[in-house]
Amino acid sequence: MSAAMKPIGRPNETLADIAYQRISEALLSGEIEPGERLVMDTLAEQLDISRTPVRDALLRLQREGLVSPAGRRGFVVSKVSEQDVVHLYQAREAVEGYAARRVAEIGGEAIDKVEKTVRSMEGIDMTDPRAVYTANMEIHRTIVEVTGNPTLLELFDQIWLRARGQVAFADYLAHDKRRTSVTESHLPLVEALRAGSDAAFAGMRKHIAEGLQVHRA
Amino acid sequence: MSAAMKPIGRPNETLADIAYQRISEALLSGEIEPGERLVMDTLAEQLDISRTPVRDALLRLQREGLVSPAGRRGFVVSKVSEQDVVHLYQAREAVEGYAARRVAEIGGEAIDKVEKTVRSMEGIDMTDPRAVYTANMEIHRTIVEVTGNPTLLELFDQIWLRARGQVAFADYLAHDKRRTSVTESHLPLVEALRAGSDAAFAGMRKHIAEGLQVHRA
DNA sequence: ATTCTCAATTTCGTATACCGTATTTGGTGC
DNA sequence: GCACCAAATACGGTATACGAAATTGAGAAT
């Protein structure tokens, strides 16, 4: 998504990274369901690697809240309750609301870049939920990115990572039902960014609240 | 399913946890300085354990941003720039500002609990920077805690973890120079929480901005 | 039939060994 | 001295082995 940030050190994707991606994918696709048990030995055999990188992957997933340790009985896939979704949307409101305010304060090129990103999503395939999700996230992520605050960006990533499946589906529904493109539905947000910090803040809160509404339907 | 519930106390502290704490402590106390190299083998020998738990600890510290991998030359202790501190304070503003608003909305017992926590810090030793830091954090953490949103609390912890040394010192200075107790300096914040959501939000922003001011001095 | 006991099994945490590669070192020719 | 190259070393990633805790299952005791 960004240009070359780390020109140094391309130490080949490690097995732990691959394991992480594969397991993540399995979780996201529903191949592994919430509540199900995840055992290192089993996963290692399935992935045809040793337990060490699998362990790395699971510890990482644990820290990200996607699985939780179940004593001596492996890990269990965390279940995302309706309440959790509300909490995630609240977290978004905190982080992205603040980011919107900052972007409005910064103004200039920052907002231009956001608008450019929004418009670049014009041609995406609206029937592909995954594409819609990614486009949506890219826009919101850009808003946080142009604040120039990497800490804030990390918080954003942490929230969105945890939200994956649920929110993805919600956003897909949002655009499908209302028959609006991702670009179309985010242009008002760009307008709000140009309308000053308070308007930007309010605009983002409203935008996120709408997302939660859709999710509930 | 009314089997014996685990009294979450001590599920056996793992060596990896101990290694994490020890290394963290060394980083915080300045025993290990920013820029210095950390090598698994060396650390393992110093702690008299094998490389495996040391590796776990380092990976965790890496994810928390306290160290970063340096290719084939070990890990290096991340240094916190002045700019980073600003970014951390901004992140606090986002998370804690939102939390204050929520607490004001929730009201009732939530605010009472915050006030109780603030008042419980009456008797701490003002000459102990560590104690002042902890008391301060406890108060702010309580505010986030009573929102009932665990995701928000995680964001809070992530920010404060990374801020450690710097902020600790800053807060120490704050109370030392102004000769106010932790309780005293936070009671206005409690008042703001009772004065409605906008006042709470503004109050928290002001409170955090003051902290940054002190840091700069 | 229910509970109790205990051994087999499961599963993780830790230690140790191995491998590949990046870095450093040491030597050689100029 | 200096540039270059080859060997040695340092280092993290991965595999494998071992031990301990805890769950499980089967049979004995009540």
Is B6 a residue whose pLDDT tops 70? no
pLDDT band at residue B152, thresholds of 50, 70 and 90?
very high
Residue A150 has pLDDT above 90, yes or no: yes
Q: What percent of chain B clears pLDDT 70, i.e. is strictly above it?
A: 92
Cα(B13)–Cα(A55) distance, rounded to whole angstroms? 18
Q: State residue A97's pLDDT score.
A: 98
Q: For position B177, what pLDDT does the model report?
A: 67
Q: Which of A11-15, A43-47, A108-112, A119-123 has the highest mean pLDDT?
A: A43-47
pLDDT score of B62: 95
Residue range B100-110: mean pLDDT, rounded? 94
- The yes-or-no verdict on residue B9 having pLDDT over 70 is no
What average pLDDT does this structure show over A150-165?
A: 91
pLDDT at B139 exceeding the cut of 90: yes
- Residue identified by tokens 């060396």 is B42
- Residue B1's pLDDT is 35
pLDDT of res. B162 = 87
C-alpha pair distances (Å), B136 with each of A148, B142, B156, B170: 28, 10, 13, 11
CATH fold label, B82-216: Four Helix Bundle (Hemerythrin (Met), subunit A) (1.20.120)
Whose C1' is closest to the CA of B71: which nucleotide? Answer: C22
Distance from CA of B122 to the nearest CA of A (A): 31
For an interface test with B, the pick among A151, A157, A204 (most B C-beta atoms closer than 10 Å) comes out as A151
Cβ distance B98 to A99 less than 8 Å, yes or no, reads no
- Average pLDDT rounded to a whole number, residues B87-102: 97
What pLDDT sits at residue B5?
A: 40
The integer distance in angstroms from the CA atom of B169 to the C1' atom of C6 is 57
Q: How confident is the model at residue A1 (pLDDT cuts 50, 70, 90)?
A: very low
d(CA A97, CA B36): 37
Measure, in angstroms, how far nucleotide C5 C1' is from residue A74 CA: 26
Residue at shortest CA–C1' distance from C24:
B73
pLDDT the model gives residue A163: 84
Check pLDDT > 60 for residue A179: yes
- Average the pLDDT over A49-69 and give the result: 96
pLDDT score at A178: 66
Copy the structure tokens of residue A208. 């996120």
pLDDT higher than threshold 80 for residue A90: yes
Among B190, B128, B136, B187, residue whose Cα is nearest residue B163: B136
Q: How many angstroms separate the CA of B172 from the C1' of D3?
A: 56
Q: How far is the CA of A180 from the C1' of C20 (A)?
A: 52
Q: Which of A87-91, A146-150, A177-181 has the lowest mean pLDDT?
A: A177-181
- Judged against a pLDDT cut of 70, whether residue A36 lies above it is answered with yes
Residue A99 predicted with pLDDT over 60 = yes
Check A97 against B98: CB less than 8 A apart: yes
Please report the pLDDT score of residue B91 as a whole number. Answer: 97
Q: Can you give the pTM of this predicted structure?
A: 0.88
Residue to substitute from B151, B154, B162, B205, interface A, most A β-carbons within 10 A: B151
Strand C bases within 7 angstroms of protein beta carbons: 10-17, 20-24
Q: Are B146 and B106 in contact (CB under 8 A)?
A: yes
Please list, in sequence order, all residues whose beta carbon lies within 8 angstroms of the beta carbon of residue A120, skipping any fewer than 6 positions away. Answer: none
pLDDT of residue A4: 34
Tell the CATH topology of A15-77: Arc Repressor Mutant, subunit A (1.10.10)
Closest CB to B94: pick one of A9, A88, A98.
Answer: A98
Whole-number pLDDT of residue B107: 84
Interface size A-B, in CB pairs within 8 Å, comes to 81
Q: Per CB distance under 8 Å, which residues of B are interface residues toward A?
A: 6, 11, 56, 59-60, 63, 65, 69, 71, 84, 87-88, 90-91, 93-95, 97-99, 102, 147, 149-152, 154-155, 158-159, 162
Where in chain B are all domains bearing CATH 1.20.120.530? 82-216
In this prediction, residue B102 carries a pLDDT of 97
Calculate the angstrom distance between C1' of D29 and CA of B2.
26
B109-131 pLDDT, tens digit per residue, is 999 999 999 999 988 888 888 88
Taking only Cα atoms into account, the Rg of chain B, rounded to an integer number of angstroms, comes to: 19
CATH 1.10.10.10 residue ranges in chain A? 15-77
Of residues B173 and B75, more confidence is placed in B75
**Angle in degrees, CA B74, A67, A31, rounded to 5:** 115
Please indicate whether, in this complex, the C-beta atoms of B98 and A88 are within 8 angstroms of each other: no
Q: What are B39-90's pLDDT values in tens digits?
A: 999 999 999 999 999 999 999 999 999 999 998 899 999 988 889 999 999 9
Tokens 């301060």 belong to: B136
pLDDT category at B151 given cuts 50, 70, 90 is very high
